[in-house]
Structure 1
Amino acid sequence: MRAIVNGTVHTVSERGTIDGGTVLVEDGEISAVGPDEEVEIPDDADVLDVEGHHVTPGLVDAHSHAGMAEWGEPEDGDFNEVSDPVTPHVNALDGFHPRDEELQHAFQGGVTTVSARMGSANVIGGVICSMKTYGDVADRMLVREDGMKAAFGENPKRFHGDQKDRQPSTRPGVAATLRQALMEAEDYVERREKAREEGDPFERDLGMENLARVVEGDLPLRVHAHRADDIATVFRIADEFGIENLSIEHATEGHVLAEEFVERDVPAVVGPTISSASKYELRNITFETPGILHDAGVKVAIQTDAPVLPQEHLDVCVGLAVREGLPEDVALRTVTRNPAEILGIEDRVGTLEPGTDADLVVWDGPMFELDSDARQVFVEGERIYDSERDDVDPREEYAW
């Protein structure tokens, strides 16, 4: 049992922020949260006095390739199954490498959960998984399967059209590819149900089983889309197939369609924004997007798209969004409670509430300020990082 006392505890819940607060941890979960004088600490507890430092939930990145991309090394990168533009049968868990160095950088920067996923070469990329960033075995790091990856815009066009000389080579081709796959999934569900009703044998298909979860509303559709016209096409197709459980990933021009997001109650996972316009569809990239969407009433999460941006700089992205208009009082929520709710894992992470996983970070200043540092990080109650204990001089630990 561990008691973290004398902290500025940001619960990111209805409890708000507790000055002089205690978080009690037992068996990997939070067992109590409250003012120091109200939380009873057992005699055998390991007490950590954080001396007024900020205590937050472990950060959650709702769109990452950490554990999948291996720092972009082609020998180990397992995030694009490019044999076909439609690959709903693959699962991120099977390509997740717990020893990817990006994961170590993640938890050292306070990021304890990521939604690990395939890249955006394919129109349909496969099943996405929410994963803890610390552990030895992927299965034990798994929080849940949180969606089906899809991608619009330049990436699937470039890879399949320009490089492979096959559909899709245009935006209409991308849309048609997704529509065809969803139609086949609907037909598959109908045939499966008929076979069950009549007691007939039925040959299952792994990809169609996964897409059936999407059209039946059990698995969210998470669509990579930067440009406003691509986002509008995603909404159009979602309306056609009655898909309400979806999110827009990147949402670079999401601020143009804020009212459409609100009307459909669709969340936006915004980023990575520390970047030049490396392709045409990013020409309107701005850190003003999260604030505009939030002010309109959209649920917003901020992402790094790691390793596009280093996973440990998720807090920096939040700080830049605050500078450009995101209210300070919602900044922490965009990388804790909001992404947890978007991913459907809010029962485990994203807040400091009794019964949730004891994933928490002790900061020496407000999380989103540039000179604030993650001093200690806990995952399921285990102290996995202590800056005084673990930091090294880069001149002595140079990786050749």
Structure 2
Amino acid sequence: MCKKLLITNGRILTMAGKVLPKGCVLTENGRITAVADQIEIPEDKDTEIIDASGCLVMPGLIEAHCHVGITEEKKGMEGDDCNENVSPVTPWLRALDAINTMDAAFDDAVRAGITSIMAGPGSSNVVGGQFVFLKTKGRRIDDLIVKEPAAMKIAFGENPKVNFMDQQKSPVTRMAIAGLLREELFKAREYQKKKQAWQKKNQGKSQSSPDSPFEPDFRMEPWLPVLEGKIPLKAHVHRADDIFTAIRIAKEFGLSMTLDHCSEGHLIAEELAKEGFPAIVGPDLSSRSKIEVQNMAFKTAAVLHQAGVLVAITTDHPVTLIQSLPLCAGLAVKSGLPMEEGLRAITCNPARICRVYDRVGSLEPGKDADIAIFTGNPMETFTKTMCTIINGTIAYRDENF
């Protein structure tokens, strides 16, 4: 690993409002230290120079919702750890404990210029567990973590219904899904109040103090970051009524939330803009495999953006393969999303939505040196990834670059 990396002569798209037709990016110790039209080549021998002439240099792409490593390709039951679908409420589960970094999808992501992902449990349960935001290169997941926990997965609609109907237990209706989630959030809030009251009364004492013990609840503790506003609910919602139910419950408990999939978002865009929740749209490059996605369309991202909703694009890998992320953004542009917003939907917007914009999503001094170099616009079919840099280290380099 070289301590310094200097990219020269590339068209620099910072995604922070600045475009350099022919500029440079300097990184040191895994961070970006300078972005400018010209940067003097350091004289020390520790600096590797990459000539990006004729190429587009931009932040590494970001996937805001996927199941990479937790639903492995071609491994069936043995590699599928996405849904603990025997219980409808499992907030204590952590994707961190199930993601296999040896999954081929990680390498596919790197080769596509994708440097970070939000990965987590599926949508068979009303509450599925905790997502993690991580980088895409490395063998030990503990070394890849950017934010953990990063969100709490909840799900509405067909998936929980079908899963538990097959088991002949609740929930089998949308009423029961909402009811179970409300019950769980009510219990979590009561637990939070109890803990806060104990902390106020017993400042400076340990929780196990014999004169005033507090019994931590392993199954309730994961809700505290949600209730405190540190991480959002991550809501699996396709149909318009499910979207509104998710919003209703989030507002009842004063919680932040992302609307993941949001397949009928274009039908209610003005209402969603008023509510202020961001949307992670997709996967639109897949079949309409169930009733609740019958109105799925690539125009959804454009309509939501035009209404004022903050939008990111998702593949929902493995529903759509992760390497198709830039193509999905391109198809959204083809359906009306402005070109710049298409690029934002796979860089700075998911970084903001996932609450990691202080680290990734744009090329600015102080941020992680996650950089992708393309032969052109990554949303165009024939564009090639020439180089992917993660934390200032070259993770992938085309043999002809």
Secondary structure of the 1:102 match is helix
Q: Between 177-186 and 68-77, report the one with greater CA deviation.
A: 68-77
Partner of 1:140: 143
Once residues 123 and 389 of structure 1 are traced to their aligned partners in structure 2, the CA distance between those partners, rounded to angstroms, is: 48
Indicate whether 1:279 and 2:290 are aligned.
yes
2:36 aligns with: 34
- 1:355: which partner in 2? 366
Aligned partner of 1:152 among 128, 151, 156: 156
Q: Offset at 1:71?
A: 1.4
Corresponding residue to 2:390 among 379, 384, 388: 379
Q: Deviation digits for residues 91-145 of structure 1, max 9, x if unmatched?
A: 1111111111111111111111010110100110111100111011111100002
| 1:61 equivalent among 51, 63, 66 | 63
Which of residues 11, 21, 24 is equivalent to 2:23?
21
Q: Could you report, residue by residue, the CA deviation over 1:79-99 in whole angstroms, capped at 9, with x for unpaired residues?
A: 112231100001111111111
Residue 223, structure 1, aligned to residue 235, structure 2: yes
Partner of 1:396: none
CA contact (8 A) 1:227 1:282 kept: yes
Q: Does 1:332 align with 2:343?
A: yes
> Is residue 240 from structure 1 mapped to residue 244 from structure 2 by the alignment?
no
Question: What is the CA–CA distance in structure 1 between the aligned matches of 2:330 and 2:283, rounded to whole Å?
Answer: 13
Tell whether 2:222 aligns with 1:210.
Answer: yes
Measured in 2, the distance between the counterparts of 1:174 and 1:40 equals 60
Offset, 1:389: 6.5
Q: Deviations over 1:150-208 (max 9, x none)?
A: 11010011101x22111110111111111110001011112222333344212112221
Q: Write the letter of the residue equivalent to 1:242.
A: G
Is 180-189 or 199-208 further displaced after alignment? Answer: 199-208
Q: Deviations over 1:222-276 (max 9, x none)?
A: 1000000000101111121122x11000000011221222222110000000122
What SS does the corresponding residue of 1:134 show, helix, strand or coil?
coil
Q: Relative to 1, partners in 2 of residues 1:389 and 1:202: Cα closer, same or farther, differing over 3 Å?
A: farther
1:120 equivalent among 110, 118, 123: 123
Distance 1:147 1:258 in 2: 24
The answer to whether residue 254 in structure 2 is matched with residue 251 in structure 1 is no
SS of the counterpart of 1:43?
A: coil
TM-score (norm 2): 0.94
Q: TM-score, normalised by structure 1?
A: 0.94
Measure, in 1, the Cα distance between the counterparts of 2:27 and 2:337.
32
Which residue pairs with 1:300 in the alignment? 311
**In 1, Cα distance between the equivalents of 2:225 and 2:114?**
29
> Per-residue deviation at 1:74?
1.2
Aligned mates of 1:121, 1:140 — CA distance in 2: 29
Q: Specify the SS of the correspondent of 2:62.
A: strand
Alignment coverage as a number of residue pairs: 385
Match of 1:190 among 166, 190, 193: 193
Equivalent-residue separation in structure 2 for 1:95 and 1:118 (angstroms): 9
Letter in 1 for 2:342: A
User: Quick one: distance in 1 between partners of 2:312 and 2:356?
Assistant: 14
Higher mean C-alpha displacement, 291-300 vs 68-77:
68-77
Structure 1: give runs of 5+ residues left out of the alignment. 391-400
Aligned equivalents of 1:232 and 1:148: distance in 2?
A: 18
8 A Cα contact 2:286 2:319, kept in partner: no
- CA RMSD in angstroms comes to 1.3
* Structure 2: distance between partners of 1:52 and 1:32: 20
The answer to which of 355-364 and 196-205 deviates more is: 196-205
**Gap runs ≥5 in structure 2:** 203-211
- 2-structure distance, mates of 1:46, 1:235: 49
Secondary structure in 2 matching 1:375: strand
Same amino acid, percent of matched pairs: 42
Question: Larger helix proportion, structure 1 or 2?
Answer: 1
SS at match of 1:206: coil
**CA distance in 2 between partners of 1:346 and 1:40 (Å):** 28
Following TM superposition, where does structure 1 have runs of at least 4 consecutive aligned residues deviating by more than 4 angstroms?
none
**Contact residue 63 and residue 350 of structure 2 kept, 8 A:** yes
Whole-Å separation in 2 of the counterparts to 1:3 and 1:193: 50
Q: Distance in 2 between matches of 1:41 and 1:291?
A: 42
Letter in 1 for 2:393: E
**What is aligned with 1:47?**
49
